[in-house]
Structure 1
Amino acid sequence: MKSDTLKQGFYPVLLTLAMGFGSAQAAPNMVVVGYGGAGQKAQDVAFFQPFSAADGNKLIQSEYNGEMARIKVMVDTGNVDWDVVQIEAPDLMRGCEEGMYERLDWKAMGGDAELIPDAAQECGSAALVWSVAIAYDANKLAQAPTSWQDFWDVKKTPGKRGLRKRAVYNLEFALMADGVKAEDVYTVLNTPEGVDRAFAKLTELKPYIQWWEAGAQPAQWLTVGDVVMTTTYSGRIAAAAQGGSPLRVVWPGSLYGMDYWAIIKGSNHADQAKRFIAFTNQADAQVNYVNQIPYGPTNTQAAAKLDPELAKWVPTTPQNLKGALAMDVAFWVDHGEELEERFNAWASK
């Protein structure tokens, strides 16, 4: 959909919100920070450019790898040079409790009636539904992996495996590789013995792991042959496959959740940031986004408008949810810091 159409459709909403929030300060300098790569390119087309045109103010974009320490320093020092950040759910919840993000007035932002459950949070608004899954190059593997047991089986399929360099996701995948059913993963992981079991399973694979930190790396590594299979955000692989790439996703055993938009506490452009979030929650803007990269929309009306051929790549369609695991955000809020510390110590050995 062209930005002119979006401007006509959304401008009344933005004007109403602008009146409610007051005039934005130094609006041309608002900075929105995402995770880069194909995902952020899609955001630029569907959100950043149309919003700037509709709102009448420029938007500056940047990228990061989810470094919470950097945001905390900004808040603690009062030197806030970012405004809106894309953030994972556990980090959002912890940061909200610590006062790192602005509270959102959902009534002033147009409400949350059209959003899926858990999309509207005290300090954040869901940007997308993601899925982390196994990916591989169909042209390079004679037999495609179908499970986490296959991912761990380096005798059956020799070569490096790509894993994100964090405890989150990996502990869940390790337990499934060790035979734990998806529906039992967090029950097991909620025990000291379960955590030990997950780390022991990761240790088995450790000599074959190549750690990724940026979301663009897994697809790049598969393409050049640095790894034979890897965990990845499904949208990155789906976008590549739609462009003719032989990269494929294994949906059973995938883990899904939501990323959020959050406004950093002390932002000089909080009013404009709230208008931006309200814009991204509109159904047509989200359909435009999913057309660019197949992550799950958070607006229920957007989900209903998706083309069936496109929907097969979206993590929240019924066929892709079979055997998938929903992230237990509360678990990672409660235990994330200690588990990440243990993971970092383990990974550095």
Structure 2
Amino acid sequence: MHATRSRFRHGAVLAAATVLCALSCAAQAATTLSVVTFGGAYENAAKKAWFEPFTAKTGIDFSTESYDGGLAKLSAMEQAKNPTWDLIDLETNDAITACDEGLLQKFDRKLLGNTSDFLPGSISDCAVSAMVWSTVYAYDTTKLSTPPTTINDFFDLKKYPGKRGMRKSPKVAMEWALIADGVAPKDVYKVLGTPAGVDRAFKKLDTIKSSIVWWDAGAQAPQLLADGAVVMTQAYNGRIDDAMHKDHKPFKIVWDAQVYDYEWWGIPAGAKNAADAAKFIVSASTPQAYADLSKYIAYAPPRKDAIPLIDKSRLGDLPTAPANFKRPLQIDATFWADNADAINKRFQVWLTQ
């Protein structure tokens, strides 16, 4: 009797120890993906639509860091052979350059299954598109009696006096300057690819330079508008939509000459948790996951099968809605990958003149 009870107790202790060990080992094995994004409203939407559901399903957690784009830090990590990021949010030209320079690992598109409904160009050798976003301009409806409707109005200080908010970057600023100067969107990069075209863009920017308030982070654009620091501001469409719907700001987007682009997920070369990062990209690239993002921010899905899953009341807020897509310009990422350094150097000089 005592021997039986002793064996039972011994077995119970072993079983308890096994359970504790399993729990401990699982806790130790749980991955935390280090993710760098552009922060703000987009990161908040990504957390709700993608990060939290993925954690609930897999136990894999996320730590996030914000940045303003560019490849300087990623390049430094590669040179030091010490990548601390597992997943990076990239603009298209940076995704192209990072892939070409070996800063990102190759992505096996077979992991995504059937990709026939993805929009053209939305899967690359090293990255998968997270969404379609757009640079637009917006204004406060309580401050302007006559609403602006075109990109020309953004450059018209006589009709619309006051400060303009702009991202401190030649990207989009150059394109808008040429369109406002009479260049058709389809011809923008043909013109911008010449020295005369670059001169023409800077000359047009000169006409509003003294009225520009520069911003660096996307969250600053709606704040400048809310504070009355600017009459109009260049902005990411999702940031303005977020301010309108969540903060109930009296803003309105002008979609004319919107410059749209893909946003990308890439995995840094040598990332410590590359396999789990790839699992996340696959999870975030399903039609339902893309549709879920649109619930929280007005960015469009890069695959067609997601469209029927989006609430019809939300479709009109997306960059690709027919009413918003009348005179768009898709950013030429290859142009910027090839010319960003030269144009940016001139832009930095121009800022100081």
Tell me which of 245, 250, 254 is aligned to 1:250. 254
Distance 1:110 1:50 in 2: 20
In structure 2, relative to structure 1, the CA distance for the partners of 1:67 and 1:190 (3 Å cut) is: closer
Q: Does 1:141 align with 2:144?
A: yes
1:26, CA displacement in angstroms?
6.2
Question: In the TM superposition, what whole-angstrom CA distance separates every residue of 1:228-279 from its partner, at most 9, and x where no partner exists?
Answer: 0011111111122223321110011111111101111110000010001001
Partner of 1:98: 101
Q: 2:41 matched to 1:50?
A: no
Q: State whether residues 26 and 269 of structure 1, in contact with CA within 8 Å, keep that contact through their aligned partners in structure 2.
A: no
Superposed counterparts of 1:1-349, under 5 Å: 28-243=31-246, 244-349=248-353
For the Cα contact (< 8 Å) 1:129–1:295, is it kept in 2? Answer: yes
Bigger-Rg structure (1/2): 2
Q: What is the alpha-carbon distance in structure 2 between the residues aligned to residue 268 and residue 296 of structure 1?
A: 31
Shift of 1:27: 5.3
Alpha-carbon offset, residue 110 of structure 1: 3.0
TM-score for both structures, normalised by structure 2: 0.89
Letter in 2 for 1:205: I
User: Helix, strand or coil: the match of 2:225?
Assistant: helix
Deviations 1:87-125 (A, max 9, x none): 100111011111110100111343533322111100111
Check the 8 A contact 1:109/1:275 in 2, yes or no.
no
CA–CA separation in structure 2 for the residues paired with 1:40 and 1:65: 13
Structure 2 counterpart of 1:195, one-letter code: V
Q: CA deviation at 1:159?
A: 1.3
Relative to structure 2, which stretch is displaced further, 274-283 or 138-147?
138-147
Task: Give % identity.
Answer: 39
**Contact 1:88–1:260 at 8 Å: present in 2 too?**
yes
Q: Partner residue of 1:17?
A: none
CA-to-aligned-CA distance 1:210-243 (integer Å, 9 cap, x gap): 1111111110110110110011111111122223
Could you tell me which residue of structure 2 aligns to residue 20 of structure 1? none
How many pairs align? 326
Change (3 A) 1:308 1:109: closer
In structure 2, relative to structure 1, the CA distance for the partners of 1:27 and 1:124 (3 Å cut) is: farther
Contact 2:30–2:59 (8 Å) recurs in 1? no
CA contact (8 A) 2:31 2:273 kept: no
Q: CA RMSD in A?
A: 1.6
Alignment partners' CA distance in 2, 1:108 and 1:286: 17
Q: Secondary structure at the match of 1:338?
A: helix
- The gaps in structure 2 that reach 5 residues or longer are 1-27
Q: 2:298 touches 2:318 (CA, 8 Å); kept in 1?
A: yes
Matched residues in 2 for 1:49 and 1:307: separation? 21
- Provide the secondary structure at the position in 2 that maps to 1:149: helix
* C-alpha displacement of 1:160: 0.9
CA distance in 2, matches of 1:309, 1:245: 19
Consecutive unaligned residues of structure 1, counting only runs of 5 or more, are 1-24
Is the 1:124–1:262 Cα contact (8 Å) retained in structure 2? yes
Question: Is the deviation greater in 240-249 or in 197-206?
Answer: 240-249
Whole-Å Cα distance in 1 between the matches of residues 188 and 111 of structure 2? 39
Residues of 1 paired with 2:62 and 2:39: CA distance? 16
Q: Which residue of 2 aligns with 1:6?
A: none
Structure 2 CA distance for aligned equivalents of residues 113 and 76 of structure 1: 37
